């Protein structure tokens, strides 16, 4: 187990966490961004399985949110406003007339305070940030801690903890784009995916949740028994046509299985499982990823990665029937997502 720290242009630091199996995770203190995850295939070849920019300066804007920590609220808030305890709050409109991923100066653009750590069988990085009352027009002084921990079983755990002195919306996530083909050799269309979910939230033409929960049975959104992702990327229904062909929807977990997500590349044997105590996730399949961006391996193109944004749904601010994302002063925000990598023969 080891940690290596590297200076990036005199502005940021990148920390590479490496376990005894050779798996390595690289993280910036800027935005808490995961820039690389190196894992083996069935033949032991170590390759990167997330999308990252070739030029680090591109992370300063990062309109695709590659690898970033997202907050205060991950996802879209309709009309860039909400009412809490009888008071209306108006946020930045950075996605049409709506609010996206905490605004243009959200947690993805924060330089986090970092503290690397190492134990006998883990290596990790603790990131902390104090978000002031009124920052981004959100209420409350919020203290946030995000901890990345890598163990010798090729498991990356992300622990999210937060507290506030005033009731406020809060739901955090990581926005990594996964691609198990290794070094972005292929798109995700041939990846096989299973999700422990039978309901998803409908979207309108602005990609805003309508609040209607849809039973996925018999549709392209039913991944309970597993299916090839390309089926939903190539065969458009009304529900995925609205997101330019693919998925950008909130899936509600049934929590009937140990793992909420299982992603496989049958060609090279890589597998990714996701286990979380979050109520659901937004799955985004890079439907509108701009083509031609220089990446660490190759050039960007549509459907080059899939995001599993485990989180609560911002739609709960306007609709009943979804888990609340309001954090109160007497509560502690404590969420965890575990990404496990292995291979099948």
Active-site residue 309, yes or no?
yes
What CA–CA distance (Å, rounded) separates 29 from 111? Answer: 6
- Does residue 274 sit in helix, strand or coil? strand
What are the tens digits of pLDDT across the range 218-240?
A: 999 999 999 999 988 876 655 55
Fold exhibited by the domain 2-343: Beta-galactosidase; Chain A, domain 5 (2.70.98)
Distance CA 25, CA 104 (A): 26
- Residue 168's φ and ψ, nearest 5 degrees, are -155, 150
Q: Which two tokens stand for residue 336?
A: 């965890």
Residue in 65, 97, 87 with CA at minimum distance from that of residue 282: 65
User: Among 307, 188, 193, 180, which Cα is nearest to 261's?
Assistant: 193
Q: How far apart are alpha carbons 238 and 156 in whole angstroms?
A: 36
pLDDT at 44 over 60: yes
> Taking residues 249-260, what's their average pLDDT?
96
Q: Among 229-233, 250-254, 269-273, name the one with the lowest average pLDDT.
A: 229-233
Q: Which of 14, 47, 135, 309 is catalytic?
A: 309
Annotation marks residue 255 as catalytic: no
pLDDT greater than 90 at residue 30 = yes
Strand 113-118 and strand 122-131: pairing?
antiparallel
Residue 334 CB contacts under 8 Å (≥ 6 apart), including other chains? 159, 160, 161
Alpha-carbon span 179 to 164, nearest angstrom? 36
C-alpha 60: how far from its chain's center? 18
Rounded Cα gap, residues 210 and 225, in angstroms: 27
Query: What CA–CA distance (Å, rounded) separates 12 from 68?
Result: 14
**Both structure tokens of 167:** 């009731």
Q: How far is CA 133 from CA 28, 103, 107, 137, 292, in A?
A: 25, 15, 14, 8, 39
Asked if the model's pLDDT at residue 83 lies above 70, the reply is: yes
Question: Torsion angle, CA of 275/170/176/209, rounded to 10 degrees?
Answer: 90
Active-site choice (108, 175, 191, 249): 175
* Structural contact between residues 209 and 220, judged by C-beta atoms closer than 8 angstroms: no
Q: How far apart are CA 208 and CA 106, in angstroms?
A: 19
At 122-175, the pLDDT tens digits run 999 999 999 999 999 999 999 999 999 999 999 999 999 999 999 999 999 999
pLDDT above 60: residue 244: no
pLDDT band at 345 (very low <50, low <70, confident <90, very high): confident
């Amino acid at each position: 187990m080891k940690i290596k720290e590297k200076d990036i242009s005199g502005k940021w630091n990148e920390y590479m966490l490496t376990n005894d199996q050779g798996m390595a995770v690289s993280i910036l203190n800027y935005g808490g961004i995961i820039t690389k995850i190196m894992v083996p295939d069935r033949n032991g070849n170590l390759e990167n399985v997330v999308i990252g920019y070739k030029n680090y300066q591109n992370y300063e804007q990062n309109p695709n949110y590659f690898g970033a920590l997202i907050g205060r609220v991950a996802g879209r808030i309709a009309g860039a406003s909400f009412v809490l305890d009888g008071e209306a709050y108006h946020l930045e409109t950075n996605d049409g007339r709506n609010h996206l991923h905490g605004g243009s100066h959200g947690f993805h653009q924060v330089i986090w305070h970092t503290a690397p750590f190492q134990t006998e069988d883990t290596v990790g990085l603790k990131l902390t940030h104090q978000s002031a009352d009124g920052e981004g027009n959100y209420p409350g002084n919020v203290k946030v801690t995000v901890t990345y921990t890598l163990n010798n079983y090729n498991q990356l755990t992300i622990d999210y903890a937060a507290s506030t002195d005033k009731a406020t919306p809060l739901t955090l996530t990581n926005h990594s784009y996964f691609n198990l083909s290794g070094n972005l050799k292929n798109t995700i269309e041939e990846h096989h995916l299973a999700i422990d979910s039978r309901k998803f939230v409908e979207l309108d033409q602005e990609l805003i949740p309508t609040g209607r929960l849809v039973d996925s049975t018999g549709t392209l959104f039913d991944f309970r028994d597993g299916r090839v992702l390309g089926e939903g990327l190539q065969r458009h229904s009304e529900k995925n046509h609205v997101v330019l062909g693919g998925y950008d929807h909130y899936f509600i977990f049934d929590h009937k299985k140990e793992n909420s997500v299982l992603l496989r590349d049958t060609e090279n044997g890589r597998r990714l499982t996701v286990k979380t105590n979050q109520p659901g996730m937004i799955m985004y399949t890079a439907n509108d990823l701009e083509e031609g961006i220089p990446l660490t391996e190759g050039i960007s193109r549509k459907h080059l990665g899939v995001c599993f944004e485990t989180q609560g749904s911002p739609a709960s601010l306007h609709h009943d029937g979804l888990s609340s994302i309001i954090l109160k002063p007497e509560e502690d925000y404590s969420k965890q997502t575990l990404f496990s990598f292995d291979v099948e023969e």
